[in-house]
Amino acid sequence: MERTPATPRPLITVLGASGFVGSAVTRALARRPIRLRAVARRPSAPAPGPAETTVVTADLTDRAALAEAVAGSDAVVHLLLADGGWRAAETEPGAERVNVGVMRDLIDVMRPGPGDGAPPLVVYGGAASQVGVPPREPLDGSEPDRPETAYDRQKLAAEQILKRATAEGRVRGVSLRLPTVFGEGAALGATDRGVVSAMARRALAGQTLTMWHDGTVRRDLVHVDDVAAAFAAALDHPGPLVGGHWLIGAGRGDELGDVFRLVARATSDHTGRLPVAVVSVEPPSHAPATDFRSVTIDSSPFRAATGWRPRIPLPEAVRRTVAALALQRDEGR
């Protein structure tokens, strides 16, 4: 997305810029010599860097507000998610309006007019879990999608809208299906509610860490800064990516028992207390089948197309997460 000195800097708009992943992406893009528009439902401070950053507070379920938020954009990074994350999709009637309806409206308001040149680029944050119960390991993106949860059905529906619009030439769409993302928030209120941070909070509180299995279930864990770098790589190399979905992952498949014990040790190192116990317990009746299946991701197609790879080792990522959560806990007292 380069420009000559005689043309304006490219305008990249991030939707959901105050969220956990969105704030990390915004912070990464702020380091670039671009025009950056950070759009979210709640006010936020501009991320530091050479980018010409504009912060916009808007309800993006309002079609007119969405049109104004993305007007003139060369690229849009769509990371908007209903409050409450995946749980909201199961219980909140308005979640589908955010998770699916905003994508539908976005395609309509970004429709290029005659002489506008190349259609605008839309990079969407999907989920590896859209595939449903993993049919094999590793996942590489060629599997048929059989989503098990309302959240994954909504994410898949939004992705399909983007793919259809790309096939029609209305936008250039790229979907990055994200793994289990964790880490410290890049902005105030940008909280990671995933399993790693949940266990770190428990460990900091001196509570036992519980598993709904024997600990050998694996997850593909990637630090949020590495995920932000993946979005930046997609913006830099859209050509081979447009029209498809691409899996992002470390490719390790970390056993959750080992991860939880790593969290316990990192918390012990930080606090000086003995590590909390890690134990197996009976799962609740509402636990989805996907919680008991291992997930490892082969992201080599995306890596080959963009040169991206995760750079933050798991132990360092866990230490950073524990330290950040401990600081938040101390400041909240």
pTM value is: 0.93
pLDDT for 49 equals: 95
Which tens digit of pLDDT belongs to each residue from 40-88?
998 888 889 999 999 999 999 999 999 999 999 999 999 999 887 767 7
Percent of the chain with pLDDT over 70: 94
Which tens digit of pLDDT belongs to each residue from 296-308?
999 999 999 999 9
- Report the distance separating Cα 27 and Cα 120, nearest Å: 22
What mean pLDDT is predicted for residues 249-253? 93
Q: For residue 2, is pLDDT > 50?
A: no
For 176-212, the DSSP string reads: EEE-EEE---SSTT----SHHHHHHHHHHTTPPEEES
What mean pLDDT is predicted for residues 186-214? 88
- What residues contact 159, with CB distance under 8 A and at least 6 apart? 124, 126, 130, 175, 245
Mean pLDDT score of the chain: 92
Cβ proximity of 39 and 77 under 8 Å: no
pLDDT for 45 equals: 85
pLDDT for 333 equals: 61
**Domains of the chain, earliest start first:** 11-186+221-251+296-311 (3.40.50.720)
Q: Which two tokens stand for residue 47?
A: 């991320």
pLDDT for 84 equals: 76
What mean pLDDT is predicted for residues 166-179? 97
Q: What are phi and psi of 257, to 5 degrees?
A: -60, -45
For helices 150-167 and 102-109, angle between their N-to-C axes, nearest 10 degrees: 10
Higher pLDDT, 29 or 88: 29
Which tens digit of pLDDT belongs to each residue from 88-139?
777 888 899 999 999 999 999 996 654 457 899 999 999 999 999 999 999 9
Q: For residue 226, is pLDDT > 60?
A: yes
